Each structure stands twice: as C-alpha cells, then as structure tokens.
Structure 1
Amino acid sequence: MAEQKMLKFVSVSRDMPVKRDAAERREDFDEIYREFAAAKAAEQASRCSQCGVPYCQTHCPLHNNIPDWLKLTAEGRLREAYELSQSTNTFPEICGRICPQDRLCEGNCVIEQSGHGTVTIGAVEKYITDTAWDEGWVIPVKPAAERPESVGIIGAGPGGLAAADKLRRVGIQVTVYDRHDRAGGLLTYGIPGFKLEKDVVVRRNDQLVQSGVTFELDCNIGETLSFDELRSRHDAILIATGVYKSRDLGGPGAGLPGIVKAIDYLTTSNHLSFGDPVPAFESGELNAEGKRVVVIGGGDTAMDCVRTAIRQGAAKVTCLYRRDRANMPGSQREVANAEEEGVEFGWLTAPKGFTGDAAVTGVRVSRMRLGAPDVSGRQTPEVIPDADYTEPAELVIKALGFEPEELPKLWNVDGLEVTRWGTIKADFLTKQTSLEGVYAAGDIVRGASLVVWAIRDGREAADSILAWLDTRAVEAVAAE
C-alpha cells in the first residue's frame, strides 16, 4: 500500500524556516528567513488536511489552488506545483515573502482552527517558486501569435506588472510608464530588503522585458507625457498608479525639521540598497544612525520603518499606536520580528504635538484608552486626561497611511471621475472608468491595500481589456 502523503498534521508539528538571530539580522538588510530544504518543504506541505472546503483558498484574494500545490509539493512534484501556483498568481515568490498570511490563508487554515497549528503556506509558496527559478522553469512569455493592439499601463507596481504579464501572454503590445527610475513600484522602493530582497523583483522585471514588455521609466504623466498623448498612442489604458500621497499630522511643531514621511524614508533606504547616491541620507536628514527615532502608526509601513531604523543604527526606536496590540492593523508576525530586533512599542498612545526649536527634539504624547465601539465595531480610542508625556526624538517618521493624488488635476484630464475619497471610480467587475478604453486597478481604485489585492486587480483588468479589444476587433470586421 502506498504511503499516505497528506493529513500528517497530527503527527508532524508546524515548523517555519529557520529565522536568523535578531542580533545578526539587525546588521543588514537581507531577508530574515532561511530557505526550506526540499525534505522540510515536503514535510510541512504534507500537514495539509486536504479539507473539502479549503478556507485557505477562499481567503486568498487570488484564490490560489493552495491544497493542490501543497499536495504536489509533498509528493515531490515541484514543477507541477510551480505551474499550478503560477497559473493564478503572477508573482508567487513575492506573495510568499510579503503577504500577511497570518491574516489571510494561514489564519483561516482548518487545522489552525482545530488547534494543530496552521500549514506554513507562505514559506512553501516561496520555496516552490525559488526552486523554479533555480531550475530554469521560469521562462519569458512567448505568445503563440502577436496582436496589433497596444495597451499603455501607468504604474509599474504589482497591479500594473500583473496586467502587463497577462496581456503579453496573449500577444498584446504593452508599454508600462512609471515615474521612478526602476520598475516595481512599492516592491522596489517601498518594501525593505529584509522582507523582499531586490534581486527577487529585478529578475521579474527582467523577465517581463524579455517577454516583450516595454518600459518607459522616469516618465511622469502630466509632465513628461500628457494623458491625451498617451491615449493617442494606445488602444487602451490601464491606470495602476497606486496611492502615494502621505496622510499628514498636525499639532504644534508639526513642521519642524526632523519630522519626515514614511515613503520618503523607505524610498531613500531602498535607493541605498541599489548603491545609488542619496544626498538626503548623507546629510543625515533621512538617516536614523545614532538618533532616537519615533515612528507614528500601526500598519505594515510603520513596521517597515521601525525595522529599517534599527538597521541604520538608531540609538532607540519607539512605535506609537493609538490602540492596543490586539487592534493593530499590521501583521502580528511583523510586530514580533520588530520586538525581537529591539523596537519598543507605546500601545494606546497618540501624538498631540512636537517639541523643539531649530529641529524636533520630542513628541508630546497623549495616553489613550479604548472606549465604545464605532460603526465598524472597533473600540474608539479616547484620551486619558492629564496623562501626557514627552517621548524624546531626533527623527520622527509619520507612517499614517496613504491617500490618492488628484490625478484628474495632475494630468489635466476632463471626464475622469473620482470617488469622494479621491480614488478613481471604476466598475467593480470590469475596472472600466468613466472614459472609454481607460481602466483602473489596484490601490488607486480600492485605496491603500495589500500587494496581493493589486495583483488580483491587475489580472482582472487585463481580462476586461482583452475582452473589450476582442469586441472592437469583431465590430471592425463586421463593419468591413
């Protein structure tokens, strides 16, 4: 009788890849988790219960066929596992590294709910695709036939790149425009290397170039190229800019030098990882070395900032968040990693102002308590009277989230409708905007969200654009 490869969650305990020691990883920007070995990946994949209703798949925005590729991994059929994973996810090795699995697939694993510890889905996903790269299974797209239609994509982040990949697979001519000097968007300049090493992103960008995708970088729509000119170049347009306007923070002293935006701080750090000269770092403006650093915010961006400051040699790093740990929006796994690396957390605290004359010297902090639930069901933070204190700081980083830029105004385009939040108004299913042949996907439609949602939106937008182009082609033939 053949050995049972699956359902080993009762006899095999959950085990993550080895995590580098905190003291070691504080010294560099390398990823903190080691790779699974083949035997360990197969062992952990074999813990899947192959349940009839896979909640892991349901709660994955891409609805990845997780139980199936776990089974294939357990059986040693890695190439098939990779091909199945790639069929629903454009960048599985990236999602395996940066998705908050504890809130998505792993957090909803059936055996996790039964007390046996979740399957390490993210680590196996990363292992499968890293193996595929090593073995040469990841190859440039080669469409069966080229098509004459062209699509212009504004934004080289995960949503835009996912759409570009899917459109190239059917032979559409694709040009991606981005304001930065490298493609990847937040994958390149927003997420630190200790979560996503940059060569992982670069090799995907290179694959897209080899697949025939054209990139026009350092291209700021509205300045370098007008939106109208862009539309004249292409049969369809996809807006996938993401949201990069930082939410601000008022209060006395809010304009003091030394108070910076998270996006500027993280972009500077990632430029350094490429070896780029960065005057703002060299001057000390965006360098945490030797400073007492306060990061304000509780999301994943805040965790990226505190852990970056630790690696830059900050004297002390404190994170202020107005709710408690249980209500923190960021990944609990990231919070634990930050604590291991020496970050201090000020739970139930909120800034009310800043001290200093020529530059910031501290944050005036209000202590908070959780009151009655709001309309979302979350308890509302309330200020505790007469409990303020000052947290010393020479560098304050605002990680309060992001909002959309005013694209119709920036691009001088009429008729592009936006919501009351400033996001692009697009059809929920088709991603079609108020302008014919113009689509929008990712954070610029749904607001600041996860990379995995941007990938899903980009893939769905590509399907809609292709359907629209097919309809136009049929109508053109009928009119002849």
Structure 2
Amino acid sequence: MATQRMLQFVTVAREMPEKRPADLRAQDFHEIYREFADAKATEQASRCSQCGVPFCQSHCPLHNNIPDWLRLTAEGRLQEAYELSQATNTFPEICGRICPQDRLCEGNCVIEQSGHGTVTIGSVEKYLTDTAWEQGWVQPIKPAADRSESVAIIGAGPGGLAAADMLRRQGVQVTVYDRHDRAGGLLTYGIPGFKLEKDVVMQRIDQLEEAGVQFVLNCDVGTDISFDAIRGKHDAILIATGVYKARELRMPGVGVPGIVKALDYLTTSNRQSFGDEVEAFESGELNAAGKRVVVIGGGDTAMDCVRTAIRQGATSVKCLYRRDRANMPGSQREVANAEEEGVEFVWLSAPKGFTGNPVEGVMVQKMRLGAPDASGRQSPEVIEGADYVEEADLVVMALGFEPEDLPEGWEAPDLEVTRWGTVKADFRSQATSIPGVFAAGDIVRGASLVVWAIRDGREAAEAILDYLAQPSAVAAE
C-alpha cells in the first residue's frame, strides 16, 4: 500500500507552495510562500521515488532521513513524519525555509535528473514542523535528570543553539553568551523576515529558555567578560561565534558616507521589524527609501540586501557581480525571486572605485570569464576600455565575511587558528588547542550555510558529552 502511494512523479507534476504576488510581497517583510494545505503536502510528498540510494539524504549536511518522512507524509502520518525529521535536525522549520535546497537535497533528486522536476522537499519539511507547532507535537525539553556539569557556549547563532539543545536534553547546565540583545545570531539579525519570520526563531529560543538554558545577552566576550573568566566558571566551552568581520575593498572612494556593510544594513532592517528604534535607519544612513541602491556581491547575503532595499522603497536596485548568472554562489531561486520583485542584475561587472562624497556612483569595469581558477570556476578578467559609472545614493558591500582575531581579542594566545584566522579544531572531536574548549560552525569552517552550523553544533555537543564523561575532565577544571 505504501509503495502505491509513492512513485507518483510520473502523473503528479512538481508544485511549490503558492507565492504571494511580487507587487504585494515587495511591500512588506512577511514570508513570500504560502503554506501547503494538507492535501497538497501529501500529494507532493507522494512524488518521491523512494530511491535505493537517496541522493537527497546523502547531499544533506544533516543526512536527514528525507525519503522516510516523505513517505510518512504521503500516508498522512504527519506526527511520525515530524518526529523523524526532528531526530536529525534541531530546527527543521528553519532549514525548510532558508536552506538552498536547489543546491543540496532537491538539486540532487533523482527524478529531477530524469526530467520530472524535483520533489519539493524544503516546502514539505517546513509544512511538517509548522503543523507540529500548531498541533502541540513539539514537546518541551525535559532532561531525565539534571547533571552538575556546566558548559558555556559563546555565540547564540544556529550552531550554538543546536549544541545547547542537545546538551540540555542530556541534563547538562548550559549558559549561552552573546554580544547581541536577542539570541539567534544571523537567524535573528542577518536573515530578513521575508525568508524567515522572527517568531519562528523566537519560539525555539523560548523553548530553550523554558528548558533551563541561561542566556547572557549584550555580553561581548573580551570586553564585558574575559575568556578566562568564562573558563573558570564552566567545565567546558564551545566557541560558536560565527564570522562577522566584513570583507572590504581597497579602492578609491571607499569609506565615504553612503557605502555601508551588508550586515549593518540587514541588522538595522531586522531591528526595525522587531519595532526597535534605530538611529541609523531614522537618519537615512541605513535606509534605502527613495535611493538608487547598488549592492556589490553575488552570494545569499547580497540577495537578502537587494530584496530588503526593494521593500524599503528604493527607487532602483541593482546588483553587481563579477561573474555571470551560472557562476554566482547565491541560490538561483533567490535570484529569480529578486528579479520578480524588481531587482536588476548587472552580470560580469566589478567595482574599481566610487565617486562623490557622499557616494554618487560606482565606477564599474566590465569583465569576461577566462580560464578556470584553482576552484574550477572561470576567473573574471577585465575588459579594457569598457568602464562606466553606475549612479548610486547607497552602496551595500556584500562581499562575504572573515573571522575576527579571537586570540587577540580574548587575550587567549593558546587558542590556535588557521592561516585564514578560523579556529583550528580537530575535524572529529571539534576540540581546539585548549583542553576543554571546543569550536563549531563558521568560526571553524569559514562562512557557510546555516544547515552546516546546525550539524557542527550537534556534533560538538556529542564531543563535549564524551569529554565530560572522562573522569579527569571535570576534575581538571
């Protein structure tokens, strides 16, 4: 019977949840996709071919058991499907919304390769967990017994929160330190509401607080509390700070008013969504209303910036990227959404400087793609004599992120880092050069996806539990 309900991809077409019309959704920060109805989620899940070797699962960083929870969804066994998705993923409702499924699970779907259109895995995952919250299937975290060991987590982003969840379920006392006034890291302040509405994040943070996880917010390690002080208070530490230092350009005009960093811009916008009063927004410094906006970069952060500028009422929004559409790192689905909303992409274009003070334009040099570089991607080359000026009142730099200098900022010279500045951690145990100190997420692997941070946080929690189980571990502290 179960087999008959699956393998429907030949007769049932791929269908995503309905998108709100572009002209309407561009006026607010609500999520753009509507919810699947029960019947539609069941129908779309039934398209799964139940592969013997599920490439969707193997290409998911969390190795979620996707075929099985699709089958349970198709059979109407939604609570079981949710519990199976939750078993390997701390935040399935978040991954269902913001994972680039077109590059991961859905992009490797077998029926996609055969021309039938991928199963809409992310939308079903989102539907399952949203239904679980509505129906009360998401249970409070209640450890069987409390333990005396205490773990500090520095950074309240997805990696730190995933680790906190797993550690608290085992009864460990967990304290999370974060420099912001709200937990969530990039989930809260970096990703716009039209991709991830903030009540989705806050309900998970509330769940952790109710379970006994302590959050110490507005706390900048190295300034408000020393790293040594945290070490003295806890039996183990997990560094999950992420990477927040913006990459910068060195060229004429950099630094004039009107040229801003992507994360500053997105954080200000998200604070507005929370109802905070933000001086930089009210003054117009980080507000695109009525401005010609140019965003430089081609990753997911750049996509977030261009779509935010549209919603703030920019008169025009252009995205400069030095390669072409096929070679950009951002999600193609996000590019399509941005184009629908009125963003213009200027491919094979790179800045060489800026005019005006405050900024009035971007000096652009046109590019072509040459021979592949070490990564296999074609390297952009300058086309001589094709320069021009792109007019702009606000330029947002979305060029990626680098790690902060933690050993210096934390006065922790024993903390080893790589030549890229990321924390050096054992790839199996996540242990750093300091006994009892572990690291996970972007601060180890460099700027990456939320789903990788969740995986790293879960694995770090398991490593910390193993460390705490050693008789000498806690005694040595």
How far apart, CA to CA, are the structure 2 residues paired with 1:2 and 1:312? 48
Deviations 1:105-164 (CA, angstroms, capped at 9, x unpaired): 000001001111000000000000000000011122101111110000000000000000
After superposition, residues 2-401 of structure 1 pair within 5 angstroms as 4-356=4-356, 358-401=357-400
**How many matched pairs?**
476
Question: For residues 473 and 105 of structure 1, what CA distance do their matches in structure 2 show?
Answer: 42
Q: What is the alpha-carbon distance in structure 2 between the residues aligned to residue 113 and residue 2 of structure 1?
A: 24
Look up the equivalent residue of 2:4 and give its one-letter code: Q
What amino acid is the match of 1:110?
V
Check 1:418–1:475 CA distance in 2 against 1; reply closer, same or farther (3 A cut). closer
SS in 2 for 1:128: helix
SS of residue paired to 2:295: strand
Alignment deviations for residues 243-300 of structure 1 (CA, whole Å, 9 cap, x no partner):
0000001211112110000000000000000000000000000000000000000000
> How far apart are residue 473 of structure 1 and its match?
6.5
Amino acid at match of 2:301: T
Q: Does residue 402 of the first structure (1) align with residue 404 of the second (2)?
A: no
Structure-2 change in CA distance of 1:475 and 1:196 (3 Å): closer
**Shift, 1:377, TM fit:** 1.1
1:292–1:233 Cα change, 3 Å: same
- One-letter code of the match for 2:122? G
Task: Describe the SS at the equivalent of 1:360.
Answer: coil
User: Aligned partners of 2:169, 2:255: CA distance in 1, in Å?
Assistant: 49
TM-score normalized by structure 1?
0.98
Amino acid at match of 2:133: W
Matched position secondary structure for 1:322: coil
Mapped partners of 2:3, 2:250: distance in 1: 64
RMSD: 1.2
The answer as to whether partners of 2:295 and 2:302 remain within 8 angstroms in 1 is yes
Please give the per-residue CA displacement for 1:205-237, whole angstroms capped at 9, x wherever unaligned.
Answer: 000001111100000101111000000100000
Q: Distance in 2 between matches of 1:433 and 1:2?
A: 47
Alignment partners' CA distance in 2, 1:259 and 1:472: 54
Instruction: Quote the Cα distance in structure 2 between the aligned partners of 1:30 and 1:295.
Output: 22
**Which position in structure 2 is the counterpart of 1:425?**
424
> Judging changes above 3 Å, is the alpha-carbon distance between structure 1 residues 475 and 320 closer, same or farther for their aligned structure 2 residues?
closer
Distance in 1, Cα, partners of 2:267 & 2:293: 17
The 3-state SS of whatever aligns with 1:293 is strand
Describe the shift of the 1:227–1:2 C-alpha distance in structure 2 as closer, same or farther (beyond 3 A).
closer
Any conservation in 1 of the 2:13–2:116 contact (CA below 8 Å)? yes
Whole-angstrom distance in 1 between the partners of 2:88 and 2:261? 35
Relative distance call for 1:87 and 1:33 in structure 2 (3 A) is same
Structure-1 separation of matches of 2:240 and 2:277: 28
Structure-2 residue corresponding to 1:411: 410
CA distance 1:58–1:472, change in 2 (3 Å): same
**CA distance in structure 1 between the aligned counterparts of 2:287 and 2:267, rounded to whole angstroms:** 12
Gap runs ≥5 in structure 1: none
Query: What secondary structure sits across from 1:152 in the alignment?
Result: strand
Question: Identity across aligned pairs (percent)?
Answer: 78
Q: Which amino acid aligns with 1:23?
A: D
CA offsets per residue over residues 28-73 of structure 1, 9 Å max, x none? 0000000000000000000000010000000000000000000000
How far the C-alpha of 1:472 sits from its partner, in A, is 2.7
* Aligned equivalents of 2:443, 2:318: Cα separation in 1: 31
Query: Which deviates more from structure 2 when the two are superposed, residues 137-146 or residues 121-130?
Result: 137-146
Contact 2:176/2:216, CA 8 A, preserved across alignment = yes
4+ runs of 1 displaced by more than 4 Å? 473-476
Contact persistence 2:468–2:474 (CA under 8 A): no
